[in-house]
Structure 1
Amino acid sequence: MTAETAQRWGSALDEVVVYAQGAVCRRLARGTVPPDGRVRVTGLPRSLDPGSLRARVSGSGAVSVVEARLEVEAEPLDAADSDALRREVELRRDEWAAAQGRRDRQLGLIEEVGAVRPVPPARRREDPHRRTPVDAWLGLADFVDERLTSLHTRLAELEEALERAEHAFLVASDRLDRASTDAPPAQVRTTVSAVLTFGALVDPTPAGARAGAAAEPEGELEVEIEYAVPGAVWAPAYRLTHRRGEDSGRLVLRASVAQRTGEDWTGVRIALATADLRRRTDLPRLRSMRIGRRQPSPAPSGWREPPAGLADLFAGYDAAGTRPDGVEAPMARAMAKGRGEPVLVGSAGPPAGHGESADHDGFAGYGAPPPPPLAGGPAPAASFGPGGGARQRGGMMPAAPAAMVPTASGRPMAPRSAAPAAPGSAVPPPTPPTGPPRPSGDELDYPALVLSGPEEQGGRRGRLFPDVPYDPVAAEYRRRAEAVAALPLPGHAVPPRVSAGSFDHRFDAIARTDIPSDGAWHTVTVGEIPVDLRTEYLCVPSVEQTVYGTLVLSHSTGQALLAGPVEVVVGDDFLLTAALPTLAPGGVCRVGLGPAEGIGVTRRTTVHESTSGLRNSTTVLDHRVHVELANRLAGPVTVEVRERVPVTSDADVRIEERADWSAPRDDTGTEHHTPGTRVWRVDLPAGGATALDGGYEIRIPSAKALAGGNRRS
């Protein structure tokens, strides 16, 4: 039973977890397992990561998935339904070009008519001067003026038609750029399917366990298909709603999500995570430090000697004879096509140079030690690893010349006949390294190793080799999907990987949502977080005589809030969009609301200079600060007035404060005050006013002066 005849199950996208870059999707498929246990689940996107496919049976202890692999299918599309947006763009482009051509021809006619001038006939030397009739000049001028008037009227109509055609072309182009990539871009639709193989588990009942019987599935099974896709990004956003005079509010967590994964997310449960989907999961290897003589590094634990008599395993296959050319050649062409190689028509196998030589000889197979150099002959052309061939970009290099014949153990022996190399024709290759084999990470990546079948000749048959075929179509899909990471972020937005710091958070949306695969930002409501609010007003009259309103926000939930834009709504009126900093669970932050026009502030200062002490040895600079506040709002307010006092590191310079202000306290844990900051906190009733007086004295020895002179303000 082949995969083409396997039973097909449709699948529906159920859940998506969007990470800092990329997403993990989970599809659900339901059906009855056929007798052969093989099912093809359709509906997977073309841009998925092949190594991320996972499948499991949910809610059944009798059947499990024993194999899951990807296969790509292609089918033609109806020309009437496919590529409609692209054809519309081409039609609008042609209309725009035609309108532009008509406008240019009209401009040419206007230029020709405007260049019409009276030209007198050539006069011979013996002819007397003739007078030009004025009526002829005026008639020509009237003709030109009348003709230009009609041409300019037509030009205005053509320019208006050109603007409409250009607008229609730009709209069609924008629709094509924003169109979902779920639709096929060509006349052929390529679909990705997961071919699953089910296996029955042992009956968990005591009687079945004693008998060793396999439990049979009852009814339909539900299978979960999980895979990772690139081309999905998100950024947090918020909406804060509160009413004046209340100490609580509603903070709605939202997210701006953009995806171009090649499939529309319709009615899916969505979750947002700050983790890196491509982060490393392997532990670093700590190598031992040895003192003494140099010791060879031990062989990797994953390396094993090849089994003895492996070549005899295919003796019956070889005795049965080779396949006809009409059967083997298409197979070779299909294999080479999957690897992206050129194929010669009528060849009986893959072309030489990609993982094997022209005669498929010279391979020692995975796990075999490197072959020794030939006696009296040139060394092998490349360094040999445990896979029997040297690694190069795109596959394995041939391990030995084509004239070498492998023995039963897989080692090449001396060639039957070899012509001596011409002098200076080639540089002798280096001698292969000796010692234990050192397989690379590709040879030890067991999920990526492929077992060579009996069609492979020479030393490759029955052995494991890394074989990762390159799919240019899938690579182009993934390249287009990853381009969504270059989208400009919304205002005040911060990438979640940056704002999360060293911690990872996950946010689950409360409802299902729809996000098309168009590469544009879409807003998703995640949930609501209760917060405590209090309104405070701040002013720094020494810098600007304006009072600013702020909201002190705190929450007692265990969910962290990432940095992002927050839309502030007071009552039913939208106020502004501000930047919310990263807020840890239980943290407090301050959000600015802009100037408060209903509160006035005025500041006046006076400076008096005098001397004191014996023989006037001390200069006294007396600074007086007078601040007036007026509340013109309908309710009481609390205003924090910030002033500054000079600071000094000189022991001879003294600063004496004369005010009831105090040093600021950082209640939110996010503000950093400069040295010398002082604050007043004043409660003003509705329509009330107050005055604040403060000051300080600077006492400087007369023999000293401040840097830049004694400051008077």
Structure 2
Amino acid sequence: MTNKTARTWGSTLDSVVVYAQGAVCRRLVRGNMPPDARLRVTGLPRSLDPATLRARVLNAPGVRVTEARVEVEAEPLGAGTPDALRRQVVRLREECAAAQGRRERQLGLIEEVRALHPVPPERRRGDPHRRTPVDAWLELAEFVDARLTRLHARLVELEEAQRLAEHELSVAADRLARASTDAPSAHVQTTVSAVLTLDGTAEEEEPQLELELEYAVPGAVWVPAYRLTHRQGDGAGRLLLRASVAQRTGEDWTGVRIALATADLRRRTDLPKLRSLRIGRRQPAPAPSGWREPPAGLADLFTGYEAAGPRPAPAVGPTAGARPADGVGSAPGPVPPPPPPVPVPVSAPPQGYGAPPAALPVPGGADGAVLQGFGAAAPAPAPPARSRAAGRPSGGGGFAAPAPAPMASAPMSPAAPGGAPPPPPPAPPSGPPRPSGAELDYAALVLCGPDEQGGRRGRLFPDSPFDPVAAEHRRRAEVVSALPLPGHAVRPRESAGSFDHRFDAAARADIPSDGTWHTVTVGEIPVGLRTEYLCVPSVEQTAYATLVLSNATDQALLAGPVEVTVDGEFLLTAALPTLAPGGVRRVGLGPAEGIGVTRRTNLHESTAGLRGNTTVLDHRVHVELANRLAGPVTVEVHERVPVTTEPDVRIEERADWRAPEEGAGPEHHAPGTRIWRVELPAGATTALDGGYEIRIPAGKGLVGGNRRS
């Protein structure tokens, strides 16, 4: 039973999980149980990774999927296939080229007319001077001016027509570039299918099976975005989580459930296998490797083929429509057979199913010195040329095990110091051969025919040709990873840190495969919110309005742009930092003109001590705040006290400010920061006084230094 006879089922894209780069798609398939337990599921994208295809049965416990394989079919499209955008671009490109040609021809005519000027005849020796016909000169000048006026007017029309054609071409080309890649190409319709093989029996005779197909595709990225709604005086706000998603996977996501994850799809998540070490004779039985010894007598299988002699070469006649050199149209004479091919020894044939273990190169030896892997016998020397008369190769071949032969002696390497011989080659690994995963895929193995050279005849080898079309689709899909990010946007892999998060959208969404950003609403997140005003009068005597966000949920908020709306009016778009569960961060809203800030300082220098050997720098700080807003506000004033590492230099503070608690506030504070928190009613003013003394011993003072700043 071939795959061509499998029953064809349609599939529906149900959900997509978009990772930091790439996505995992999930399709649902429904239908009756096929009698031959084989079915073909269509609708898969061209850019999918065949190694990630997974399939399982959802509603029939007794039925399972034993094999899932990807197949690609292509067929030419009919003449009536809609391809309006591509045809429009081709038509506009031709119109643009024609408009440019007309403009260039008009420029040529202008240059020709501009070159018209009167040329007097050459005056011969002895001829008298002639009178210049001024009227003819003036008529020619008038003709040239009138002609150039008409030509330039026509040139302006042609340039305007060319500009319009180029504009239409650019618009159409942009629409074609932004169009969905789900549509087929201009001439070929490609169908990607998953061929499934079922096994088992169900309770009913023909049950309605429901299958799930899962596969990974490249070319999908996302970044978070937010919308914050707040009303003044409320202690909470509404934070709407949205996401900007762009995908160019080759299929449109229509009506699918979207989930967003910060994990790296290409990162391996399988756990390492830790094998125990046993001491003693009793050891666990080794796992079967899937490799079997070559069957005996394989060389005799091709005896009749070798006895028949070389295959006759096809007769090469003249090309249709061409005549021989002698003019006679008779058929050419017999073509002499080509010379027998010279056998080329194959040093390391690819490992195949049932093939002998591959030879491993000997480090430090000659090119001809090889080491037989997997604990098998040493390889035989290159087989001699076949004898066509005998009908069999002079040496053994096929699947017969090679006879033990001495290894080719490698030439001595340059003598080491003291004339020591080179180190011996490492011992071959023991145990049976361990073929790769491609060699264990028995359904994909191909039996090599008798025309194969070397040791491939009659043996199974994996047939996995490189698909350049699929590679080109994946390369085009990866273009979305270079899209410019929206303002204040941060890649989720950068803002998530060492943790991975997943966000499930509340409703289904549509995202076409056009490689542009589309906004998807994920859900609403409750956050704690309060308005505070922050000022650092030592740097700038201006108060800034801020929103202090607290995340009381168990889900992190990634960094991204947030649109702030206060009392139903849009205020600004700010950058929201990463907010971990239980974290508190501050979002700036800009300067607040209703809060007045004034700062004055005073410095008094004196000496103290028994002999006046201690310099005392007394700093006084006076800050005045005025609330000109309609409601009460909370103002946080930041000052900074010098920090010293010298034990002899003392700093004594005289103020009611406090030091910030590390890790408790919404931001990180510099050393020596001091904070005042003031509650100001509407229309109230207050004054804050603080200061500190710096006591410097005479031995620690700086001569001519600026120790007052």
Query: Normalising to structure 1: TM-score of the pair?
Result: 0.78
Structure 1 unpaired stretches of 5+: 204-214, 291-297, 326-351, 391-397, 416-430
Q: State the alpha-carbon separation in 1 of the partners of residues 590 and 384 from structure 2.
A: 79
Deviation of 1:605 (Å): 2.8
Are 1:589 and 1:670, in contact at CA under 8 Å, matched by a contact in 2?
A: yes
Structure 2 unpaired stretches of 5+: 279-283, 312-340, 387-392, 406-423
Q: State the alpha-carbon separation in 1 of the partners of residues 274 and 567 from structure 2.
A: 61
Q: State the alpha-carbon separation in 2 of the partners of residues 461 and 217 from structure 1.
A: 46
Deviation of 1:449 (Å): 5.2
Q: State the alpha-carbon separation in 2 of the partners of residues 98 and 106 from structure 1.
A: 12
Matched, 1:232 2:220: yes
Alignment of 1:24-35 (within 5 A): 24-35=24-35
RMSD between aligned residues: 4.3
Partner of residue 16, structure 1: 16
Partner of residue 78, structure 2: 78
1:473-493 Cα distance to aligned partner (Å, 9 max, x none)? 112112222222222222222
SS at match of 2:87: helix
Deviation of 1:84 (Å): 3.2
Are 1:452 and 1:463, in contact at CA under 8 Å, matched by a contact in 2?
A: no
Task: Please point out which of 517, 520, 539 is paired with 1:521.
Answer: 517
Partner of residue 248, structure 2: 260
Partner of residue 483, structure 1: 479
Partner of residue 435, structure 1: 428
Deviation of 1:36 (Å): 1.4
Are 1:552 and 1:590, in contact at CA under 8 Å, matched by a contact in 2?
A: yes
Residue identity matched to 1:410: A
Deviation of 1:110 (Å): 3.9
Partner of residue 264, structure 2: 276
Matched, 1:623 2:611: no
Partner of residue 99, structure 2: 99
Matched, 1:533 2:521: no
Are 1:443 and 1:465, in contact at CA under 8 Å, matched by a contact in 2?
A: no
Alignment of 1:571-582 (within 5 A): 571-582=567-578
Partner of residue 544, structure 2: 548
Residue identity matched to 2:11: S
Q: State the alpha-carbon separation in 2 of the partners of residues 631 and 612 from structure 1.
A: 42
Deviation of 1:571 (Å): 2.2
Partner of residue 188, structure 1: 188
SS at match of 2:266: coil
1:343-396 Cα distance to aligned partner (Å, 9 max, x none)? xxxxxxxxx99xx999x99988547556999xxxx9989765559999xxxxxx
Q: Quick one: structure 1 residues 453 and 147, their matched pair in 2 at CA, closer, same or farther if it must change by over 3 Å?
A: closer
SS at match of 2:161: helix
Are 2:563 and 2:572, in contact at CA under 8 Å, matched by a contact in 1?
A: yes
1:167-190 Cα distance to aligned partner (Å, 9 max, x none)? 111111111211111111231111
Partner of residue 419, structure 1: none
Deviates more, 1:510-519 or 1:112-121: 112-121
Q: Quick one: structure 1 residues 664 and 406, their matched pair in 2 at CA, closer, same or farther if it must change by over 3 Å?
A: same
Partner of residue 700, structure 1: 696
1:42-61 Cα distance to aligned partner (Å, 9 max, x none)? 11111111111111111122
Deviation of 1:302 (Å): 4.5
Alignment of 1:575-654 (within 5 A): 575-614=571-610, 616-654=612-650
Partner of residue 306, structure 1: 292
Deviation of 1:192 (Å): 1.0
Paired residues in the alignment total 637
Deviation of 1:695 (Å): 2.8
Q: State the alpha-carbon separation in 1 of the partners of residues 376 and 447 from structure 2.
A: 17
Residue identity matched to 1:84: A
Q: Quick one: structure 1 residues 365 and 13, their matched pair in 2 at CA, closer, same or farther if it must change by over 3 Å?
A: closer
Partner of residue 410, structure 1: 400
Are 1:242 and 1:248, in contact at CA under 8 Å, matched by a contact in 2?
A: yes
SS at match of 1:483: helix
Q: State the alpha-carbon separation in 2 of the partners of residues 522 and 400 from structure 1.
A: 65
Q: State the alpha-carbon separation in 2 of the partners of residues 107 and 707 from structure 1.
A: 81
1:139-176 Cα distance to aligned partner (Å, 9 max, x none)? 55554444444333333322222221111111111112
Deviates more, 1:59-68 or 1:461-470: 461-470
Residue identity matched to 1:200: G
Partner of residue 390, structure 2: none
Are 1:49 and 1:229, in contact at CA under 8 Å, matched by a contact in 2?
A: yes
Are 2:9 and 2:42, in contact at CA under 8 Å, matched by a contact in 1?
A: yes
Deviation of 1:10 (Å): 0.9
Deviation of 1:687 (Å): 2.9
Q: State the alpha-carbon separation in 1 of the partners of residues 441 and 383 from structure 2.
A: 24
Q: Quick one: structure 1 residues 524 and 636, their matched pair in 2 at CA, closer, same or farther if it must change by over 3 Å?
A: same
Q: Quick one: structure 1 residues 105 and 631, their matched pair in 2 at CA, closer, same or farther if it must change by over 3 Å?
A: farther
Are 1:239 and 1:253, in contact at CA under 8 Å, matched by a contact in 2?
A: yes
1:616-651 Cα distance to aligned partner (Å, 9 max, x none)? 444443333332323232222111111222222233
Deviates more, 1:533-542 or 1:462-471: 462-471
Matched, 1:246 2:234: yes
Q: Quick one: structure 1 residues 276 and 153, their matched pair in 2 at CA, closer, same or farther if it must change by over 3 Å?
A: same
SS at match of 2:103: helix
Are 2:55 and 2:213, in contact at CA under 8 Å, matched by a contact in 1?
A: yes
Partner of residue 345, structure 1: none
Deviation of 1:19 (Å): 1.4
Are 2:294 and 2:399, in contact at CA under 8 Å, matched by a contact in 1?
A: yes
Partner of residue 705, structure 2: 709
SS at match of 1:73: strand
Deviation of 1:285 (Å): 6.6
Q: Quick one: structure 1 residues 67 and 546, their matched pair in 2 at CA, closer, same or farther if it must change by over 3 Å?
A: same
Deviates more, 1:124-133 or 1:168-177: 124-133
Q: Quick one: structure 1 residues 165 and 379, their matched pair in 2 at CA, closer, same or farther if it must change by over 3 Å?
A: closer
Q: State the alpha-carbon separation in 2 of the partners of residues 381 and 401 from structure 1.
A: 18
Deviation of 1:74 (Å): 1.5
SS at match of 1:103: helix
Deviates more, 1:399-408 or 1:475-484: 399-408
SS at match of 1:15: strand
Q: Quick one: structure 1 residues 112 and 389, their matched pair in 2 at CA, closer, same or farther if it must change by over 3 Å?
A: farther
1:279-313 Cα distance to aligned partner (Å, 9 max, x none)? 223445779999xxxxxxx9984446635856589
Partner of residue 54, structure 1: 54
Query: Normalising to structure 2: TM-score of the pair?
Result: 0.78
Deviation of 1:600 (Å): 2.6
Residue identity matched to 2:216: A
SS at match of 1:157: helix
Percent of pairs with identical residues? 68
Deviation of 1:517 (Å): 1.0
Q: State the alpha-carbon separation in 1 of the partners of residues 242 and 377 from structure 2.
A: 54
SS at match of 1:646: coil
Are 1:230 and 1:261, in contact at CA under 8 Å, matched by a contact in 2?
A: yes
1:663-692 Cα distance to aligned partner (Å, 9 max, x none)? 223565552211221222222222333333
Q: Quick one: structure 1 residues 312 and 650, their matched pair in 2 at CA, closer, same or farther if it must change by over 3 Å?
A: closer
Are 2:355 and 2:399, in contact at CA under 8 Å, matched by a contact in 1?
A: no
Q: State the alpha-carbon separation in 1 of the partners of residues 385 and 376 from structure 2.
A: 15
Deviation of 1:239 (Å): 1.3
Are 2:293 and 2:354, in contact at CA under 8 Å, matched by a contact in 1?
A: no
Alignment of 1:350-365 (within 5 A): 365=353
Q: Quick one: structure 1 residues 557 and 139, their matched pair in 2 at CA, closer, same or farther if it must change by over 3 Å?
A: same
Are 1:368 and 1:386, in contact at CA under 8 Å, matched by a contact in 2?
A: no
Q: Quick one: structure 1 residues 707 and 28, their matched pair in 2 at CA, closer, same or farther if it must change by over 3 Å?
A: farther
Matched, 1:688 2:681: no
Q: State the alpha-carbon separation in 1 of the partners of residues 264 and 677 from structure 2.
A: 46
Q: State the alpha-carbon separation in 1 of the partners of residues 439 and 20 from structure 2.
A: 29
Q: State the alpha-carbon separation in 2 of the partners of residues 317 and 15 from structure 1.
A: 58
Q: State the alpha-carbon separation in 1 of the partners of residues 522 and 119 from structure 2.
A: 81
